[in-house]
Structure 1
Amino acid sequence: METAMLMAENGARVIIVGRNQEGLDEAVTKVRSHAQMTMMERMQEGGNGDGFSGMAGSQSTMTSVETGGAPYTEMEDKIVGMEADVTNFEQVKSVADQVVQRFGRIDTWVNLAAVSEWALFEDTSPDEFHRIIEVNLLGQAYGAMASLPYLKQQTGGGALIFVSSIAGRAPIPYQSAYNASKHGVLGLVETLRQEVKYTESPVSVTAILPASVSTPMFEKARTKIGVEPEPIKPVYEVRMAARAIAYAAQHPVRELIVGDSGYMITFMRRLAPTLTSNYLGAAGFRQQRSQEFKSSQAPDNLYEHVSEETQVEGEYTPVKKVSPLTWFSTHPKARMALYGALLAGLGVLVGRRVVNIRRERLSWRYKLPRQAKRFTRQASKTAEKALSGMPSPSDIPVVSRMPMFHKKTPMERISDRLSKVGAGIIALIPFIPQKKSAARRITDRLPEVSMPWSPSKPSTLDRLTLSHQRQAAIYRFARQSSKVMEKMDKQRKDTLKKASRTMTEVGDRRK
């Protein structure tokens, strides 16, 4: 009934449909009284009600027609009650026909009829299971069948809203039939949305998924667990669900979750379905049992209307009145501003990281080790190339029983090459920065403090001089390495000349 009050106080014509005329008259009286008081307060403040198309009701299917504010004498025409049972398609179809005949169109049709029973599956009778499915699933299907032809034919289309539950995404114990019916509602919504989109009908199909909401359903439902059931905490205010329905009546959205806990359960079920199911099972058995005894023979609303069923709020406290995630879902501009701020913050972090990397690569602490490694590789390649060009001692002819050169074994040749490469690496050790200790790293991070007795900070000229000296040291090492390579090449050529000269002398002696 909170949805009917919210729609009526904003100037919408509201049709409330219920199965009991006495309870229906009581609900209509409450909604009219609330709408009149709200409009009087706004008029005293010098304001106006914002008329919008919407529809509301209590435990039934409801419709409304768009209109502006109206005098108090017209309140009876704006808020009307019609008796019908949502499990009877002919009665629901008659309500739709009467609304169109009286007001000319249907702007929004909300299906929110629901009953429940708290019991284990094995304790649920077939008739009780069938009754819950009939009201929760078939009742909403009948409402869509009755209203959809008018919504598709009229100019401007309309909104078709189904009130499901977060239990349709993540089931909880003690409510097997209720969970099955809400799963069925979500399947119906998805199918209907696809068909409406394919036929290009101007009708928005929306699913509302409330988490634990403080409604009288827990007090009026049938229970076979020995106590009165309670909602799983946290419990949210009923008006949050009413605001979500009113928002869906004016904005075509796929679905709206009411309550931050609903968003968290949906996210966790996608991330870790087994863990989430185990948690909800444990929480469902523990938190849904109150301390108040209630017999299975106590009056309930499963088959018949219960007195005081038109009350708005349940008796559960504390009740959360704010849900940031739901608020952002119904305020797209604020949501886009939040996304923009998050992207801007991410861009700042990435930009700072890129700048720091570039600064590190431009510093001598980054360049010097890499230049030293490059010079080491070049020196090693040059040494290997020089050694590969020298003839093997085994290729030199023997002119006597004593060999002219000692023939080295393969291990000796490998050892000689490794020693030469090692000598080049050892020459580069002074230029390779060593790993700093923890104390040295902490000292480097401390800010520099200038004391009267401490030396002054080096000037820009001194830093440039130090940088020039480092570059000069690197170039000097490169020149020394080049001279060593030239000397090794010269020694190789001299050895070849001596070997050639010796062979020539040996040949002359033989002659």
Structure 2
Amino acid sequence: MNQRTVDTGVPLNSLKLKLKKLKNQVMVITGATSGIGLVTARMAAEQGVKLVLVARNEEALNILKKELKVRGAESIYVVADVSKEEDVDRIADAAIEAFGGFDTWVNNAAVSIYGYAAEIPVKDMRRLFDVNFWGTVYGTRKAVAHYKEKEQAGSIINMGSVVGNRAFPVQSAYSASKHAIRGFTDAVRMELEKEQAPVVLSQIHPARVDTPYTDHATSYIDKKPTHKGIVYPPESVAEAILYVAEHPKRDMYVGTQSKFFSIFGMVYPRMTDKIMELNTFQTNYDENQAAPEPSAGNLYEPREDLYERGTNQGWHRPKSLMVKAKKHPGLSTAALVTVGIAVTALKVVEIKKLKSLF
């Protein structure tokens, strides 16, 4: 195998690359038949984007394709399991055959597991990593190769999470996969900028979102997973994705909660541990509903799709101010000040309660 020559040149600033307008783009969306992927596909179609819809559920993909055709959108679908590299290769091949290539690749497909780490079968953890992490790796590599071959700037959008910046209990495997995606994304971005590659690599960091995520989860606790507390609409995540597809950004946070825990968890890690130990467990489960058997989740097989929202019980926010602030830089300072005030206030309120726990 030939060794790469070390590049000692000046790195490219990928955030200054010019991306196509959405109406002129072809976009690949994995996990396109549910939640964030489904909302993104529908919103993208309204803006004239040509779509490559990817999921494991062919029936749902066929219905979605017909729906988008009625709306005047052009799309194809590919039945694929992103944990298999050969399936990801087929996605790219189908996009090239149908549209001559693609301009944005959204690595959105993911599965989740709830439960105590010592009680979750290792094979399930490996399966989750195969989908969440390796699916992102395969998609990123395929998209990078395509943009280099075209010699035209393209976008890759990797879906992170608040739990990829600050781990949550009873979601250890999912948190670990999202931490891995963040590390992979940040490292690859630097490599691509160093070699002057025409690629914008971005990551979206949503807080809790009202999607079927919890309904599709595999659970090893006897209560049904749910989102309590603040819950953001999937439209806010789709808005962030579509904005980044056209305007290069390194990161987009959806929900003040996401930015808050990312900062607070870094500055006050031990206090964040205790806060989560006190309140995260009950906000992850519905005490009044028994969980289905673990096999009922979509870890290995697709389940009922074409639902944008889930059965979550939290405080449903109408939008994300963090997304609005990122789209309008004049509001960013105010947003950061708000987060800073919230961090300080929480520290003052919680410090007395937490002292006895250390």
TM-score class, shorter:
0.7 to 0.9
Which position in structure 1 is the counterpart of 2:30?
none
Q: Does 1:212 align with 2:249?
A: no
Instruction: Tell me by how many angstroms 1:201 deviates.
Output: 1.1
Aligned counterparts of 1:116 and 1:196: Cα–Cα separation in 2: 30
- Partner of 2:227, secondary structure, is coil
Which position in structure 2 is the counterpart of 1:131?
127
Does the 8 Å CA contact 1:170/1:277 hold for their aligned counterparts?
no
Q: Does 1:235 align with 2:272?
A: no
1:330 is aligned with what amino acid?
K
Aligned counterparts of 1:135 and 1:28: Cα–Cα separation in 2: 23
Aligned counterparts of 1:271 and 1:231: Cα–Cα separation in 2: 25
- Partner of 1:115, secondary structure, is coil
Does the 8 Å CA contact 2:226/2:311 hold for their aligned counterparts?
no
Question: Could you list the per-position Cα deviations for residues 242-295 of structure 1 after superposition, in whole angstroms to 9, with x for gaps in the alignment?
Answer: 000001101111111100111111221132111112212322212111021123
Q: Does 1:306 align with 2:303?
A: yes
Greater RCO (CA < 8 Å, at least 6 residues apart): 2
Q: Does 1:319 align with 2:319?
A: no
2:128 is aligned with what amino acid?
I
Q: TM-score, normalised by structure 2?
A: 0.79
Which position in structure 1 is the counterpart of 2:47?
10
Aligned counterparts of 2:68 and 2:274: Cα–Cα separation in 1: 42
Aligned counterparts of 2:246 and 2:149: Cα–Cα separation in 1: 18
Does the 8 Å CA contact 1:3/1:239 hold for their aligned counterparts?
yes
5 Å-filtered alignment, 1:428-507, equals none
Instruction: Tell me by how many angstroms 1:220 deviates.
Output: 1.4
Of 266, 288, 291 in structure 1, the residue corresponding to residue 284 of structure 2 is 288
C-alpha root-mean-square deviation of aligned residues, in Å?
2.0
Q: Does 1:95 align with 2:94?
A: no
Does the 8 Å CA contact 1:222/1:301 hold for their aligned counterparts?
yes
Q: 1:256 to 1:125 in 2, by over 3 A?
A: same
- Partner of 2:296, secondary structure, is coil
Q: Report the structure, 1 or 2, having the larger helix content.
A: 1
1:286 is aligned with what amino acid?
Q
Q: 1:333 to 1:154 in 2, by over 3 A?
A: farther
Aligned counterparts of 1:104 and 1:327: Cα–Cα separation in 2: 33
Of 14, 20, 33 in structure 1, the residue corresponding to residue 57 of structure 2 is 20
Does the 8 Å CA contact 2:92/2:101 hold for their aligned counterparts?
no
Q: Does 1:141 align with 2:137?
A: yes
Does the 8 Å CA contact 2:78/2:94 hold for their aligned counterparts?
no
Instruction: Tell me by how many angstroms 1:149 deviates.
Output: 0.9
Which position in structure 2 is the counterpart of 1:403?
none
Give the number of the structure whose alpha-carbon radius of gyration is greater. Answer: 1
Instruction: Tell me by how many angstroms 1:111 deviates.
Output: 0.2
- Partner of 1:205, secondary structure, is strand
Instruction: Tell me by how many angstroms 1:80 deviates.
Output: 1.5
Aligned counterparts of 2:67 and 2:296: Cα–Cα separation in 1: 24
Q: Percent identity?
A: 29
Does the 8 Å CA contact 1:3/1:242 hold for their aligned counterparts?
yes
Which position in structure 2 is the counterpart of 1:329?
326
Instruction: Tell me by how many angstroms 1:26 deviates.
Output: 2.6
Of 153, 163, 174 in structure 2, the residue corresponding to residue 157 of structure 1 is 153
Instruction: Tell me by how many angstroms 1:193 deviates.
Output: 0.3
Which position in structure 2 is the counterpart of 1:244?
240
Pairs aligned (count): 298
Q: 1:6 to 1:111 in 2, by over 3 A?
A: same
Aligned counterparts of 2:294 and 2:187: Cα–Cα separation in 1: 39
Does the 8 Å CA contact 1:117/1:221 hold for their aligned counterparts?
yes
Which position in structure 1 is the counterpart of 2:338?
none
Aligned counterparts of 2:68 and 2:309: Cα–Cα separation in 1: 14
Question: Could you list the per-position Cα deviations for residues 48-76 of structure 1 after superposition, in whole angstroms to 9, with x for gaps in the alignment?
Answer: xxxxxxxxxxxxxxxxxxxxxxxx4xx4x
Does the 8 Å CA contact 2:209/2:232 hold for their aligned counterparts?
yes
Instruction: Tell me by how many angstroms 1:297 deviates.
Output: 4.6
Does the 8 Å CA contact 2:232/2:317 hold for their aligned counterparts?
yes
Of 93, 105, 110 in structure 2, the residue corresponding to residue 109 of structure 1 is 105
Instruction: Tell me by how many angstroms 1:30 deviates.
Output: 3.9
Instruction: Tell me by how many angstroms 1:155 deviates.
Output: 4.3
Of 147, 152, 165 in structure 2, the residue corresponding to residue 169 of structure 1 is 165
Aligned counterparts of 1:271 and 1:16: Cα–Cα separation in 2: 40
Does the 8 Å CA contact 1:152/1:158 hold for their aligned counterparts?
no
Q: TM-score, normalised by structure 1?
A: 0.56
1:320 is aligned with what amino acid?
R
